[in-house]
Amino acid sequence: MGFDFGVCIQDVKKKLILNDQLYGFDNEQKQLLQIIKKTTDFGESDSVIILGTRGCGKSILMESVIKSLSPESHTLVLLNGLIHTDDNLALKSIIQQLQMENLDGTFAQGSYADNISFLLDSFRTGNKRASKSIIMVLDKFDMFCSHTNQTLLYNLFDSVQSQQNPLCIIGLTSRIDVIELLEKRVKSRFSHNILMLKSPSETSQLLERLKHSLTISKHCKVKADVLKNWNSNIDLLISDIRIENLIKDLFKLSNNYTKLNMLIFMALSNVSKDKMITVEDLTNTYTTLFNKDMILVNLLGLSILEFCLIISICHHSVIYNQEPFNFEMIYDRYSKFALRNSTSFVTKRQVVIKAFERISVMQLILPVAAIENKHILKEYRLYKCTVNLDKVKTASNKYYRLPPVILQWIDSNII
């Protein structure tokens, strides 16, 4: 062969990470463009919410539309509900992004009331024709709804309603009930433009996307024969029945593209640069990424003592119908078993406490309601179990050299 595919791999990986190409959603793109154009061209303020599940392409849609506008026509303000966790931070960020602190240096450091009146005054002084329009994007829109009194949202939507500086608000969210989260006064000021983005509903779409991601475009700086070789290989790969089955499995797991992207990225990382990516690469990566039962791995790594405790816990949960338990109950159950069977299982209480603590550090058991537990000795602290007996049974069958007594104990299930 002798082709050097290093550049190709790099190109595909970069494409996956930057993730800036929009697939589908032509109608939505047009609609959004129309709304934004109204603001940038005619100075009419508006608001819109883009709804869609995680990873379906909300941000990419928004970015691609804004990219198509000329940069002089607007000022962009990007806010993210995860980053701007309260109104004050969001407001400071708006002022920073509008580069308004240069107007009067004291304001960005000022109090919240100062800042908001400053911002609103600035909006008010603007008018439909002369002022530059502002596009404000609120990512994780639902998180802004939890801010106190929704002051920021109210003020922003209010200035959209009154004819002031042209302002277009784009909210991105994955919560379908987002409108219900808004207060009445905020809701009435919202334009009720909602764009719904649908996740792929068929495996063929995912397959198409896989092909799209792996194919190298002509703009890439590689030799023509390498490019041709790579792309024809990808075509062969996609038509393989095993890949189709793989994508079908993946689709059962999740219907957005993030998992697919991760799969391709990992598979490409494992390929050395003088080789072509093969079906085996993809299927192997799929098994390592998604087919591993992490809880089982955890259980198999426990020592016999810890494993016995887990069994006691599961028995307790089954008998008492998932009631919470404390260390004493589990220790009692365990020592009954140990005394009945063999002296080799009898362990000092202090060691069992340590083993119990280790299980709780791994969060195989979780403490119940922290307030109740505050004033209680650690032996009596209440916990809940997160693994079920079936899982423990499967683990016990795979456990290396588990004493047969324990195996019988799991199934016996007597008090």
Shortest spacing between CB 221 and other proteins, in angstroms: 13
* Stretch of 119-127, 182-190, 215-223, 294-302 lying at the interface with other proteins (CB under 8 A): 294-302
Shortest spacing between CB 17 and other proteins, in angstroms: 4
Decide: is 54 part of the binding site for other proteins (CB under 8 A).
Answer: yes
Give 18 or 414: the residue with its C-beta nearer to other proteins.
18
Decide: is 414 part of the binding site for other proteins (CB under 8 A).
Answer: no
- Which structure tokens are listed for 45? 């303020």
Decide: is 194 part of the binding site for other proteins (CB under 8 A).
Answer: no
Transcribe 136-204 into DSSP letters. EEEESHHHHTTSGGGHHHHHHHHHHHTT-S-EEEEEEES-TTHHHHS-HHHHTTS---EEE-PPP-SHH
Angle at 380 between CA 374 and CA 384, to 5 degrees: 85
CA pair distance 128, 142, nearest whole angstrom:
29
Give 78 or 135: the residue with its C-beta nearer to other proteins.
78
Decide: is 113 part of the binding site for other proteins (CB under 8 A).
Answer: no
CA pair distance 391, 377, nearest whole angstrom:
30
Give 81 or 166: the residue with its C-beta nearer to other proteins.
81
Among 305, 310, 313, 410, binds other proteins (CB under 8 A): 305
CB < 8 Å & 24+ apart, contacts of 116-121: 116/91, 116/151, 116/152, 116/155, 119/91, 119/94, 119/95, 119/155, 120/155, 120/159
Decide: is 237 part of the binding site for other proteins (CB under 8 A).
Answer: no
Nearest one of 252, 148, 184, 186 to 47, comparing CA atoms: 186
Shortest spacing between CB 264 and other proteins, in angstroms: 11
Shortest spacing between CB 386 and other proteins, in angstroms: 8
Q: For the segment 18-47, give every residue that binds other proteins (CB under 8 A).
A: 18-19
Can you say whether residue 413 is alpha, beta or left, with left for phi > 0 and alpha for psi between -120 and 50 degrees? left
Decide: helix, strand or coil at residue 63.
helix
Give 191 or 254: the residue with its C-beta nearer to other proteins.
254
Among 259, 281, 337, 392, binds other proteins (CB under 8 A): 259
CA pair distance 327, 353, nearest whole angstrom:
8
Give 190 or 327: the residue with its C-beta nearer to other proteins.
327
Decide: is 344 part of the binding site for other proteins (CB under 8 A).
Answer: yes
Give 179 or 402: the residue with its C-beta nearer to other proteins.
402
Decide: is 253 part of the binding site for other proteins (CB under 8 A).
Answer: no
Decide: is 398 part of the binding site for other proteins (CB under 8 A).
Answer: no
Give 186 or 281: the residue with its C-beta nearer to other proteins.
281
Report which DSSP code applies to 325: B
Decide: is 375 part of the binding site for other proteins (CB under 8 A).
Answer: yes
Decide: is 297 part of the binding site for other proteins (CB under 8 A).
Answer: yes
- Which structure tokens are listed for 76? 């962009």
CA pair distance 84, 22, nearest whole angstrom:
27
CB 23 within 8 A of CB 209: yes
Give 271 or 279: the residue with its C-beta nearer to other proteins.
271
Output b/e per residue, 272-311; b: 16+ Cβ within 10 A. Answer: eeeebbeeebbbebbeeeeeeeeeeebbeebebbbbbbbb
Decide: is 369 part of the binding site for other proteins (CB under 8 A).
Answer: no
Decide: helix, strand or coil at residue 278.
coil
Among 33, 69, 100, 362, binds other proteins (CB under 8 A): 362
Give 294 or 414: the residue with its C-beta nearer to other proteins.
294
* Stretch of 29-37, 38-46, 86-94, 206-214 lying at the interface with other proteins (CB under 8 A): 86-94
CB 179 within 8 A of CB 196: no
Q: Find the farthest-apart pair of alpha carbons in the chain and give their distance in angstroms, rounded.
A: 89
CB 169 within 8 A of CB 47: yes
Among 22, 33, 89, 238, binds other proteins (CB under 8 A): 89
List residues binding other proteins (CB under 8 A).
6, 9-10, 13-14, 17-19, 54-55, 80, 82-85, 89, 92-93, 96, 254, 258-259, 262, 265-266, 269-270, 273, 288-289, 292, 294-295, 297-298, 300-305, 326, 328-329, 332, 344, 347-348, 350-351, 354-355, 358, 361-363, 375-377, 379-380, 400-401
